[in-house]
């Protein structure tokens, strides 16, 4: 995004205000210029070629108060004592800058390396609706790097009765190379399950490089209304989770890449609900790729288990679609999950083995289980698996397509509440092995199964522009999926951002429906969407 400005200070303030607004546009160029009648703004969409001329004060709702918001500068050669936060006299540390913010302010962190800063605990950032506080790399410069010792957790924002809210972390690099247990890159954390949650959080364009064992690059607990987008998370084969959320609600994880995590890629558990995980790449993880649920101790559930609606759950209403999951031991998991959906994903398990360490898993391409913490009494139920491509190498005879691991109580295991529609399963090593038992007992009649395709090659190739796998067999994929409705406020788009055709394809790529391909009967293409409340106000 480029800005042609009038004067440095005013245009920077307008830019920071625009960044806090959710503009429903493609990537744009913003040109700001003066007229005798007032300030105007031109937004030109690169993709659609349209031009919209708007009066900033009247139509963009940028008030005089907004324009008074500060830009606070931090630089490696600044000083926390003698500095005043101006560009000419910056602060030397992020903590000092955060303590000086008001709603609407933006902190520009200039390029360079910052050691152990902010320290654990940090300073909570407090914005307001429409007036987010930004902690961001200075525009036009290389991203600043936060490097830490064994004790630093960088931006750790605890809650209490007044948790932080309405803040953005943008264009920053977090690096933790020391092999220390349990030290996260960022930790956004509400104090406990009975305290108000941290809310309205955006992490955009940040990079995380983590090798501290048994830790997370992004750790969230008790966070509502959040967006994690355009981020890179790379663990370099360490025992790390890319992103873990406990008791998080009403969020989105979009266009991120999670690489080389020997624990898991993306996981939400502990009562998490109404989260969309879309258009991401999860590559090389030993345990789970995208996990709806998990094993949470009783005291960390949000809402608390004794206040949760029945049946209880680790995760509810999570949508996982248009993702690429590559060389992961258990690519998708429903783990004490309720009303979760995984659709239009591409799962590739190649001869590179299922993890960088060469370890393999018996958990299957889809793992459906009940949490090992039996304080949460209800097993996985009412989940949907549709329109996914499973392209895999059958390395061991005990490796199943779907692995059931559910405890059976007086009410049964709820296997028959799962719906598996219009998925393609292809074993490229031996196509006759494209089907394996739903569980170790060989029972295949538990879930509701319709129109799954076996032993048909989706034709996986490497995209020359991205280096990522794509499926090109439009004859067996195009128009062969079942329509699935994303939550309110979210669009049903493929991995490259195009709106899905109707009927949609199998997989995350919007292929055309080849003439002459046998259609699927209409009555089996209709799924009544599960009830999803959508984002909270």
Output the 3-class SS for 198-262.
EEEEEEECCEEEECCCCEEEEEEECEEEEEEECCEEEEEEECEEEEEEECCEEEEEECCEEEEEC
State the burial class of residue 360 (Cβ atoms within 10 Å of its Cβ: 0-12, 13-18, 19+): middle
What confidence score (pLDDT) does residue 125 get? Answer: 87
Query: In whole numbers, what is the pLDDT of the chain averaged over residues?
Result: 77
Which of 22 and 371 is assigned the larger pLDDT?
371
What confidence score (pLDDT) does residue 69 get? Answer: 82
| Residue 245 scores a pLDDT above 90 | yes
Confidence of residue 310 (pLDDT cuts 50, 70, 90): confident
| Residue 238 scores a pLDDT above 90 | no
Confidence of residue 411 (pLDDT cuts 50, 70, 90): low
| Residue 254 scores a pLDDT above 90 | yes
Q: What structural domains does the chain harbor?
A: 3-67 (no CATH), 71-524 (2.160.20)
| Residue 442 scores a pLDDT above 70 | no
Among 122-131, 238-247, 292-301, name the one with the lowest average pLDDT: 122-131
What share of the chain has pLDDT > 90, as a percent?
39
Q: What is the pLDDT of residues 23-76, one digit of tens each?
A: 333 333 444 333 333 334 444 433 434 333 333 333 344 333 455 689 999 999
| Residue 119 scores a pLDDT above 70 | no
Confidence of residue 261 (pLDDT cuts 50, 70, 90): confident
Q: What is the pLDDT of residues 96-105, one digit of tens each?
A: 999 899 999 9
CB distance 117 to 95 below 8 Å: yes
Query: Which of 18-32, 38-52, 410-424, 509-523: highest mean pLDDT?
Result: 410-424
| Residue 194 scores a pLDDT above 50 | yes
Tell me how far apart the alpha carbons of residues 219 and 155 are, in angstroms, rounded to a whole number.
11
What confidence score (pLDDT) does residue 122 get? Answer: 62
| Helix, strand or coil, per DSSP, at residue 391 | strand
Closest CA to 242 of 221, 215, 224: 215
What confidence score (pLDDT) does residue 63 get? Answer: 38
Residues 348-376 have a mean pLDDT of 71
What confidence score (pLDDT) does residue 97 get? Answer: 93
Tell me how far apart the alpha carbons of residues 345 and 289 are, in angstroms, rounded to a whole number.
12
Q: What is the pLDDT of residues 142-171, one digit of tens each?
A: 999 988 764 444 455 555 677 888 899 999
What confidence score (pLDDT) does residue 198 get? Answer: 86
């Amino acid at each position: 995004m480029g800005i042609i400005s009038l004067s440095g200070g005013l245009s920077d303030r307008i830019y920071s205000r625009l960044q806090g607004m959710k503009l429903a546009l493609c990537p744009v160029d913003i040109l700001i210029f003066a007229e005798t009648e007032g300030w105007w703004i031109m937004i030109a969409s690169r993709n659609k070629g349209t031009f919209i001329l708007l009066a900033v004060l009247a139509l963009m709702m940028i008030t005089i108060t907004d324009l008074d918001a500060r830009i606070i500068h931090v630089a490696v050669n600044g000083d926390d004592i003698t500095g005043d936060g101006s560009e000419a006299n910056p602060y030397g540390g992020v903590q000092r800058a955060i303590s000086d913010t008001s709603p609407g302010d933006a902190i520009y962190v200039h390029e360079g390396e910052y050691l152990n800063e902010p320290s654990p605990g940090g300073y909570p950032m407090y914005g307001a609706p429409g007036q987010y506080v930004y902690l961001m790399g200075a525009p036009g410069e290389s991203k600043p790097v936060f490097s830490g010792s064994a004790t630093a957790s960088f931006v750790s924002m605890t809650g209490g009765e007044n948790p932080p809210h309405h803040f953005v972390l943008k264009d920053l690099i977090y690096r933790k190379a020391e092999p220390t247990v349990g030290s996260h890159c960022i930790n956004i954390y509400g104090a406990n399950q009975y305290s108000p949650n941290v809310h309205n959080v955006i992490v955009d364009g940040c990079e995380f490089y983590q090798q501290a064992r048994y830790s997370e690059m992004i750790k969230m607990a008790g966070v509502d209304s959040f967006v994690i987008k355009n981020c890179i998370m790379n663990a370099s084969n360490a025992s790390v989770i890319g992103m873990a959320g406990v008791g998080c609600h009403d969020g989105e994880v979009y266009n991120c890449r999670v690489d080389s995590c020997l624990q898991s890629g993306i996981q939400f558990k502990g009562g998490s609900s109404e989260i969309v995980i879309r258009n991401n790449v999860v590559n090389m993880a030993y345990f789970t790729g995208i996990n709806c649920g998990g094993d949470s101790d009783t005291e960390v559930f949000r809402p608390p288990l004794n206040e949760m609606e029945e049946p209880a759950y680790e995760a509810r209403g999570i949508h996982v679609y248009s993702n690429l999951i590559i060389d992961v031991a258990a690519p998708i998991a429903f783990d004490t999950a309720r009303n979760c959906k995984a659709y239009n994903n591409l799962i590739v398990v190649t001869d590179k083995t299922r993890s960088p360490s060469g370890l393999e898993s018996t958990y299957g391409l889809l793992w459906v289980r009940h949490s090992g913490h039996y304080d949460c009494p209800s097993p996985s139920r009412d989940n949907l698996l549709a329109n996914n491509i499973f392209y895999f190498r059958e390395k061991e005879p005990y490796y199943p397509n779907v692995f059931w691991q559910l405890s059976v109580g007086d009410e049964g295991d709820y296997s028959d509440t799962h719906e598996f529609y219009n998925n393609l399963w292809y074993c490229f090593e031996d196509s006759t092995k494209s089907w394996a038992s739903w569980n170790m007992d060989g029972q295949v009649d538990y879930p509701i199964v319709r129109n799954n395709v076996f032993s048909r090659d989706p034709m996986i190739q490497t995209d020359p522009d991205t280096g990522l796998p794509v499926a090109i067999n439009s004859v067996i994929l195009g128009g062969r999926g079942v329509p699935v409705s994303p939550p309110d406020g979210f669009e049903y788009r493929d991995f490259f951002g195009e709106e899905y055709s109707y009927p949609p394809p199998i997989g995350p790529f919007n292929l055309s429906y080849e003439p002459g391909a046998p259609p699927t009967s209409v009555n089996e293409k209709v799924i009544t969407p599960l009830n999803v409340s959508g984002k909270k106000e």
